[in-house]
Chains A and B, each alone.
Chain A
Amino acid sequence: MRRLSWFNTVSLTLGFAFLYIPMLILIVYSFNGGKLVTVWSGFSTKWYGELFRNEAFLDAAWVTLKVAVMSSTIATVLGTMAAYVMVRAGRFHGRTLFSGMIYAPLVMPEVITGLSLLLLFIAIGLDRGVLTIVLAHTTFSMCYVSVVVSSRLVTFDQSLEEAALDLGCTGFEAFRLVTLPIIAPAVISGWLLAFTLSLDDLVIASFTSGPSSTTLPIKIFSAVRLGVSPEINALSTIMIGLVAIGVIGASLTSKRAIAKRAKDEQEAIQ
């Protein structure tokens, strides 16, 4: 087994300290009794209580969740279709434009995406609200989904699908019964990615939301612009906790699935 040299040990320790200490500080100070976020004055959970009594935050959280569920679901369907087209459809008119439109939103500055969508919604007279945020989020996150799914589709053995077609499946049945189960992990990670991108987005949501559809990032941004607040620390701690549970849980499940598959294969051989 290899051992780490002192240089690598130091750089890894410092690197991970840099990544994690700011978040740890944020979490620790969410349990601070005082109003100041930089002076420790005893353990307390009162900011969590304040947070759950804050109607404005709860409303915004609900809007954010609705937008994230809707946009990530539509984005997963559209993104998977787009990935299928990119990998399987061969040549068709406007393919270059299509692949350009898939990749461009990934690197487009958010301020430009937000501005252009807002100008579109105004041009067609669509009132800004939950619907416009969902449309905006779907558009940029479907591109991420299609990148994730197409990287799985490329390595997929196409003869399996052909076998299903030979055995009498219709095209859609072959997709549902053969292709989808195999690419499912990629589709699920695409959905999760779209979901977190939507939860996290401030800039595009600011451009496309109306007065009655404030999302949580917009609310957080306007609160922290003025300074630090222990309530935001409490909210951040909850969000960091949920993400950590989600990511660690997902990786443990996939690890177990891989281990189980390896065991099954082993047994099948014997």
Chain B
Amino acid sequence: MARNSVPAGPAKKKNINNVAYLFIAPFIIVFLIFSVYPVLRTLYLSFTSYPGYGEPQWVGLANYNRVINDKFFWEALWNTIKIWSVNIVVQLGVAFLLTIVFSDIKYRIRGLSVFRAVFYLPNLIAAASIAFLFKTLLDWRFGTLNQILAQLGVDNPIPWLTSPDIAPFSVAMINAWMWFGNSFIILMAGVQGIPKDYFEAAAIDGANRWKVFGKITIPMLRPILIYVSITSLIGGLQMFDIPFLIAQGTDMTAILRGPLQTVVMYMYDFGFRTFQVGYAGSIAYALFLIILAAAVIQFKIMNKED
């Protein structure tokens, strides 16, 4: 009845549209101020010399030229890639393994929702708490892990978080632990979205578990895998909190260097320690371009196999 009572006509349609604008206005305003404006402002600043106050001085492409020739930037990028590579292999590997186990019709593991919550939990803990937790667990002399290793006969305690060679791997493992639950949930959702007919047909045809996994699960999960790996790449190359917090209080905090120096930490040094905001902006955009290029390449490679 109500619908019938609304008179049709262009004038009324306009009113409906206007009300809708009002509803979306708060989001649009907040989005423009807190997302679009900072992005555009950073782009502008990346072409300037700006110490954080006064009027920015236009320097054209000088900051980008400096990024290209800055060996410490590339070192930081290489550090980031190393940490991310180990992280993504472990993170997706564990997530995949758990997906296989939990999606297997034969195992029929109960309490999926409980496991899902437990696996996802590390993702909900503040990075500062996680850094503190692992600094305690992985302390070179009195950490739990080294204590266990000592019981097993390892004489020399391993400097998990203070050795320049080992610390990046420790950070990668911590990140993997934080994010494998997230990947698991997404992969499980993907598996549950695959029509059961495929699996039933495969079972009737006598396909074994690995064949089902390789010929049905993986191909059907490809869009999900692309999504997970690209979002992980984007997040991974922006890594900051865990390496930053782990490096605090060690000899690895020296400006511009150290095995835990990631690109975003490098950008932070320029933005907030030496107040070269323009250069920090160009590092941000250089990282954006690198991530964009890497994501496009990754997308092409993963799609090509289709």
B is bound to A = no
